[in-house]
Amino acid sequence: MKRIGIDLGGSKIEGVLISGNGEILSRKRIPTIRSEGYEAILNRIVSLVRELIDNGSVDYTIGICTPGTISPKSGMIKNSNTACLIGKPFQQDLEDKLYHTILMDNDANCFALAEAILGAGQGFNTVFGVIMGTGVGGGIVINKQVHRGAGLIAGEWGHHKIDPNGPKCYCGNRGCVETFISGPALEHQWTSITGKSLTLEKIVNEKDIPGYNEWKEEFLTHFGLALSNVINILDPDVVVLGGGVSNISFLYSDGLRYVEKYSFSDYPNTPIVQNKLGDSAGVIGAAYLGEWS
């Protein structure tokens, strides 16, 4: 059984064909061109899938990774950075055009699945994968299967509330994890403390500037609170970090101590590791959606 994975992003659509033993046989990227609208995006995905199917093979699965979520009630896309998909029966329309079952999941679940099967979570039973980038998301994988939950919100870590008086979040609540440890939130906190604007990449190299220690202390406190809450409930075998913020090295040293500080365990030793697949996790996770065999 071969696997086709498609990662639908705001600017590019990436596709892979993976063999039964996990070898990437073919890989292709095309632009999304959101301005051309819904029907054009569907048609581009259809032609990408057809290009990836080698020699007319009929024995394959197709999985799609998209940043949006699918309403369990209506099957419609609920939110997406590709706005023309919102409210559309995207999965059904693709199935109709391709005459094939389409498996679909969000980027955090695909990330967690890819890392659990081929990345830093390999060999661990319960994997909590988190994306800390422009937004914050999470996915739970147990025995190489995504755990989606009754309402398909399992692992939505970015919207855990860790401070009811915290910053307002786009979801309508206050103090969500995303409002503290996403890339933009961390840059905003730096500006509040120092009065200056800097990119996150530059901030972590500004160790001698007054305000750095305060910024880092706040960051790690929120990181520790947010992850220890998950560990106290899920008790995963490993936590894999992804997204731009996961490149900050002190998360894997000082960060561990803050997670331990707030963890209920007498023996806090959950490994917290950096991802191995980088930007490829979305498309690889998409390919592995559905039955693992």
Q: What is the Cα gyration radius of the chain?
A: 20
Q: Taking CB under 5 A as the rule, does residue 169 contact Zn ion? A: yes
Q: Which of 196, 224, 200 is nearest to 210 (CA)?
A: 196
64: exposed, middle or buried (Cβ count in 10 Å: 0-12, 13-18, 19+): buried
Helix-helix angle 90-98:38-52, to 10 degrees:
50
Q: Please state, in angstroms and as integers, the Cα–Cα distance from residue 39 to each residue in 64, 120, 227, following that order.
A: 17, 37, 40
CB of 118 or CB of 169, closer to Zn ion = 169
d(CA 285, CA 185): 27
Q: Taking CB under 5 A as the rule, does residue 176 contact Zn ion? A: yes
DSSP-assigned letter for residue 138: E
Q: Quick one: which segment of 166-174, 221-229, 236-244, 252-260 binds Zn ion (CB under 5 A)?
A: 166-174
Minimum CB distance to Zn ion, residue 196 (Å): 27
Q: Which of 8, 276, 2 is nearest to 127 (CA)?
A: 276
d(CA 123, CA 187): 35
Q: Taking CB under 5 A as the rule, does residue 79 contact Zn ion? A: no
Number of residues that bind Zn ion (CB under 5 A): 4
CB of 103 or CB of 227, closer to Zn ion = 227
d(CA 231, CA 228): 5
Q: Quick one: which segment of 105-113, 165-173, 231-239, 271-279 binds Zn ion (CB under 5 A)?
A: 165-173
CB of 83 or CB of 153, closer to Zn ion = 153
Minimum CB distance to Zn ion, residue 138 (Å): 13
CB of 8 or CB of 176, closer to Zn ion = 176
CB of 3 or CB of 159, closer to Zn ion = 159
Q: Taking CB under 5 A as the rule, does residue 209 contact Zn ion? A: no
Minimum CB distance to Zn ion, residue 162 (Å): 11
CB of 102 or CB of 176, closer to Zn ion = 176
Q: Taking CB under 5 A as the rule, does residue 136 contact Zn ion? A: no
Q: Taking CB under 5 A as the rule, does residue 159 contact Zn ion? A: yes
d(CA 200, CA 161): 23
Looking up tokens 């992804």 gives 242
Instruction: Among 171, 193, 209, 273, indicate the residue that binds Zn ion (CB under 5 A).
Output: 171
What residue ranges bind Zn ion (CB under 5 A)?
A: 159, 169, 171, 176
